Structure 1
């Protein structure tokens, strides 16, 4: 390795420049990485370029020469396409580089994708994320990661740039995905419960802002109640996290639970409310829209929605 190679800034490719991926890509830039970014939406690439990044026309272009490729797509199918589909990153990544997969997926699929990539001489880190768009922009995410020691070592600087807390959960891909699914079970149930509670309060004719004030200082509060109910109070259902996310994630949880012969009735009931919300046309709206579904079913009146 010559001295130029030794002293060059680390290189990263980011695939998926949505609400989370954009913040992660910009956090990498602030940490001194040279970053190329790709998204299927050209406007997202343009936003990243306006922030000083380099746009790419294909995932493979973003991955070429990268030390680390961070994939911030929605699901396993998209992750597989990013890796092995036309214009995918697997062949473009240098041998020994690491693919950091942040999509929420079935742990068995994470293991399969990891084995397929690692057979080519590249590394795979199973690294789902939590924290939301605002924390992504600040480089303050939580990462639930698992993979080989070599994968962790290669991804270390990038993880430090994007996250305030990196949980190293094991040396096999799939463990991180399992932890994320436990988080999603709780998150999905808690959001549905918050929607149920605030819609019932509306049906009872209570002052909803006083309900929020009282409950957030009481034992029944949850992080999701405190975070999502303001969306309902403002009638603001812009998709910070969409209903369809929990249609997907709670569906995965049901599949996992069935395979393990494990009862998951609360997750199943919450899934039905997200499915109903999607059926009513709220699928791409914020997941707080589950409260609107309760309201429509019961005749409760919530604050009028703004344009979504």
Structure 2
């Protein structure tokens, strides 16, 4: 049996690092090179330099490939791409193809995508990832994967120790992967909010953020230390040539999903509501090129400290 042809669409701050790791794996194992496309194809130059094959559009990737990865910004983009794939099926069968979406989308979007593709004989795997862009570049993401077991088994070799350090098996229901990812982001955003409030408290009272940073590292370990560092280093408002670790616009989208799902199920997320309000105001103040940790900037502003800390390199 000939080796599978793999395809990729979506070369943002997360997608490019992931696709590069996948292409390196394919090249090292003598497998066909990755076919890829993106809304702005020039963003894939590093991938082309690594041996990837650029394609003009998503439809071309679908036609050429057996397994197609997507890593895109929101639900609407995924729906548009799959509409294009389904249109392609009128001239080229989708039967047997596997579509893997690594994005963060609403559970209903995952379920709808799976249903539409199944009707054409294709398979959908929901595989959202945990980790920011440096983790993606290092190939250390955590994948939460849901879909038919045979399809998940088929794509596993291209993920484990290639793009990710581990896979969480979420079973067949693709909604579950999306729910876990959104729940995980509830934690991330809530950590950012609480850490921001604590750092503002430390600065206003004279305790100082350096002492608090050291305490967080010693008491809560490297994960919360890294989140705290995004605040204290000024990385919540990165310079124009540095991509945000978790872009504010994407965080707002995810929090909107979380709040909507919570309301549908009769519960509330007050910390997320506070963080969303602060992050929206941060985007108004600093524009779109900011990190989700920019809730800190708004918390500072509310306390009379000013949005920008001394360590910010962009004002």
**Matched-pair contact (CA < 8 Å) for 1:141–1:164:** yes
Aligned-partner SS, 2:14: helix
1:115: how far off? 0.1
1:110: how far off? 0.9
CA separation in 1, counterparts of 2:84 and 2:262? 30
The aligned length equals 300
Q: Are residue 28 (structure 1) and residue 22 (structure 2) matched?
A: yes
Return the TM-score normalized by structure 1: 0.89
Return the TM-score normalized by structure 2: 0.87
Q: Which structure 2 residue ranges, 5 or more long, are not aligned?
A: 239-243
CA separation in 2, counterparts of 1:159 and 1:40? 24
CA separation in 2, counterparts of 1:89 and 1:154? 23
Aligned to 2:65: 66
CA separation in 2, counterparts of 1:151 and 1:93? 18
Alignment of 1:1-308 (within 5 A): 6-8=1-3, 10-32=4-26, 33=31, 34-85=33-84, 94-160=94-160, 161-219=162-220, 223=223, 225-236=224-235, 237-238=237-238, 239-300=244-305, 302-307=309-314
Which shows bigger deviation, 42-51 or 136-145?
42-51
1:216: how far off? 1.5
Q: Give the aligned CA root-mean-square deviation in angstroms.
A: 2.3
CA separation in 1, counterparts of 2:248 and 2:260? 19
Which shows bigger deviation, 103-112 or 45-54?
45-54
Q: Which structure 1 residue ranges, 5 or more long, are not aligned?
A: 1-5
CA separation in 2, counterparts of 1:270 and 1:185? 10
1:222: how far off? 7.5
1:304: how far off? 4.3
Aligned-partner SS, 1:69: strand
CA separation in 2, counterparts of 1:163 and 1:93? 30
1:55-82 Cα offsets, whole Å, 9 max, x none, are 2210122233322111000111111111
Which shows bigger deviation, 209-218 or 291-300?
209-218
1:209: how far off? 2.3
1:205-248 Cα offsets, whole Å, 9 max, x none, are 343223211222125x682x411332333323231211112211
Aligned to 2:241: none
Distance of aligned partners of 1:287 and 1:116 in 2 relative to their CA distance in 1, 3 Å threshold: same
